[in-house]
């Protein structure tokens, strides 16, 4: 048995994530034959199959499921080694590979980049905007350092740094009977055509959860890739949708209006930073979270700040 190579482990992790050799090759920016050869070499060195090939894609074998977390851990440790060596002991210096979900990125990224640039000019954020599942997988295998996403992450091997909580508002056409309404019960959603994001977006799942708790049904009609597109469908009177409060200043334009829910608990979500528990940059990430909370307050975003449990932020008034 020969030791696995980094190339083989990266190919294994990419195929396991995508469940498809071609998509994995795209992720790695290599050819599909190269990915296939790397996986085949890894299987040969281990003397066992890691994937079950089918006409529609691939599935992990029992051994593949067992080894995948170890591969992720190995790749993450290697990426941390290279990153730490490159920074030569300096903090807030060099690349920061930051993953952000699409329902947060357009509304928070300007604040993030301005705050980090002003406070840490030697830090170079490299932004990846993708769905929760994709950025969590990239965090696990070391391709990303830090995430900004809706909490919880539901991963034992991650640390969460809460940033804020925000309510969901109901986005409607300005001529809709609910335009401008306040203190609505969530049962108001019953009978409305609630538009959804496509599968893979946590905002889609959160919207479905709110509707189900309210006794409303969802799941029919168009499923869009961004809140901007969904908002335009609302402007065309094709339905209504739930919008996080941070998106209101950007998306509520033209013939659009909002309605707000009342009661307790209000529908909403928590947003925070997530990093690997094993990361050697945990203190840095805590400082970044503190700086960002201050910046969120200064920017006047319509959210409620949160602090990490047992953490004295120091910078937040």
Q: What pLDDT score does 2 carry?
A: 76
Residue written as token pair 């975003």: 301
Region 168-268: CATH code: 3.40.190.10
Q: What pLDDT score does 3 carry?
A: 85
pLDDT along the chain (317 residues), means of 10: 86 90 89 92 90 84 90 83 64 88 96 95 93 91 93 92 97 97 95 90 93 82 84 94 96 96 93 92 93 95 80 34
Q: What pLDDT score does 74 carry?
A: 87
Tokens of 252: 């509520």
- CATH 3.40.190.10 for domain 84-164+269-305, yes or no, is yes
- pLDDT, tens digit (0-9, with 9 covering 90-100), for 76-114: 888 777 766 665 556 788 889 999 999 999 999 999 999
List the chain domain ranges: 6-82, 84-164+269-305, 168-268
Q: What pLDDT score does 222 carry?
A: 64
Distance CA 286, CA 107 (A): 21
Q: What pLDDT score does 217 carry?
A: 79
Q: What pLDDT score does 239 carry?
A: 92
Region 6-82: CATH code: 1.10.10.10
Tally of CB atoms within 10 A around 42: 21
Same topology for domains 84-164+269-305 and 168-268, yes or no?
A: yes
């Amino acid at each position: 048995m020969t030791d696995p190579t980094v190339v083989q482990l990266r190919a294994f992790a990419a195929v396991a994530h995508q469940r498809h050799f071609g998509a994995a090759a795209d992720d790695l920016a290599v050819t599909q034959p190269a990915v296939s050869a790397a996986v085949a070499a890894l299987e040969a060195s281990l003397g066992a199959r890691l994937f079950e090939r089918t006409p529609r894609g691939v599935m992990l074998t029992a051994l593949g499921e067992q080894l995948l977390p170890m591969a992720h851990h190995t790749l993450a440790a290697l990426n941390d080694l290279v990153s730490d060596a490159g920074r030569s002991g300096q903090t807030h210096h060099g690349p920061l590979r930051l993953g952000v979900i699409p329902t947060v990125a357009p509304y928070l990224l300007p604040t993030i980049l301005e705050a980090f640039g002003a406070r840490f000019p030697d830090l170079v954020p490299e932004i990846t905007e993708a769905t929760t599942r994709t950025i969590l997988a990239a965090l696990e295998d070391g391709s990303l350092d830090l995430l900004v996403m809706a909490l919880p992450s539901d991963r034992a091997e991650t640390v969460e740094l809460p940033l804020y909580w925000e309510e969901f508002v109901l986005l409607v056409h300005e001529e809709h009977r609910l335009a401008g309404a306040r203190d609505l019960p969530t049962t108001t959603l019953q009978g409305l055509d609630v538009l959804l994001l496509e599968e893979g977006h946590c905002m889609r799942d959160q919207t479905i959860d709110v509707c189900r708790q309210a006794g409303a049904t969802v799941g029919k009609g168009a499923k869009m890739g961004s809140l901007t597109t969904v908002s335009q469908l609302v402007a065309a009177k094709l339905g209504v949708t739930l919008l996080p409060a941070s998106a209101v200043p950007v998306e509520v334009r033209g013939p659009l209006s909002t309605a707000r829910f009342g009661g307790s608990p209000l529908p909403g979500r928590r947003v925070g930073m997530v990093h690997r528990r094993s990361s050697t940059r945990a203190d840095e990430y805590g400082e970044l979270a503190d700086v960002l909370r201050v910046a969120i307050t200064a920017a006047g975003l319509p959210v409620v700040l949160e602090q990490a449990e047992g953490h004295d932020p120091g910078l937040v008034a």
